[in-house]
Structure 1
Amino acid sequence: MTFSPESDHDAAAIEERVEETIAENDVVLFMKGNRLMPQCGYSKRAVQLISTHVSEFETVDVLPALPQYREALSDRSDWETIPQTFVDGEFVGGSDVLAELEERGELESTLSTE
C-alpha cells in the first residue's frame, strides 16, 4: 500500500504504515524530519550514526502525524521517544542506544542485515 501526504492520519492507517515499513526494509529509522533535514538533534544524531555504517536505509518522517506515530511505535517497540530504529524487523533503540552501541564497537554488526 502506498501512502501519500494527503492520506488520512488515523491510528489504523499509521499502524499499518509502521508495520509495512518495518517489514519491507532491512534498516528503518522513524524520525522527526528526513535524512537530509532532521528536525531534532536526536534524529540528526541517529542519521549520522546509521549513515556511518549503512548506506541504504529507510527513514520515515513522523512529524505529519506525531501523536499517531508515537502511539503505533510505542505499541510495537514499548519505547515512547522518537527516533526509533528497527533492523530486520526488530527494535534496536533510539539515538542514545545507537550511540552506546557505537561506543562499544557493536553498532556496525547490529546494523548488518547479512
Structure 2
Amino acid sequence: MKELTKAEEEVMQYLWQLDEAKVAEIIEQMPKPKPAYNTVSTIIRILEQKKFVDYKKQGRGHIYFPLVSKDEYSKASMNNLLNNYFDGNLKSMFSFFTKKNDINISDLEQILKELKKDQNE
C-alpha cells in the first residue's frame, strides 16, 4: 500500500469520518484557516491516482468515498513503522514506546488486559 503525505492523510481522515462527501463538505469539516478549494480538490485527485478514493457523479459534481478503510491503512502504516524503524521486531518497538512515553506497570497491565480481551473476541 502506498504511503500518504501528511496533507493526503488529513483529507482521508475527514473522508473516513464522513464516509462520502463533496470537496466542499470535506473543507467544511476542516479547522480554520481552511485550505483553498483547489488545494483539497488536487489532493483528492492524487488520492484517486493512488487508489485510495473513488467517486460517483452527482449532477455536475462528484461525491468522493474511500476505497481503503481506516483500519487497512492503519495496519499498513504500523507495519511500515515496525519494518522500517524496528527491523520488524515488535518487542523493540514496544520497548521504544514504553521508554519514550514513560509507561508505568499499571499502564502495561491495562494494555495486556485489553490485548487479552481482543484475542478472546
Q: Same fold (TM over 0.5)?
A: no
Which structure has greater helix proportion?
A: 2
TM-score for the superposition, normalised by structure 2: 0.29
Q: Which has the higher Rg, Structure 1 or Structure 2?
A: 2
Q: Relative contact order (C-alpha < 8 Å, sep 6+): which is higher? A: 1
TM-score for the superposition, normalised by structure 1: 0.30
Which structure has greater strand proportion?
A: 1
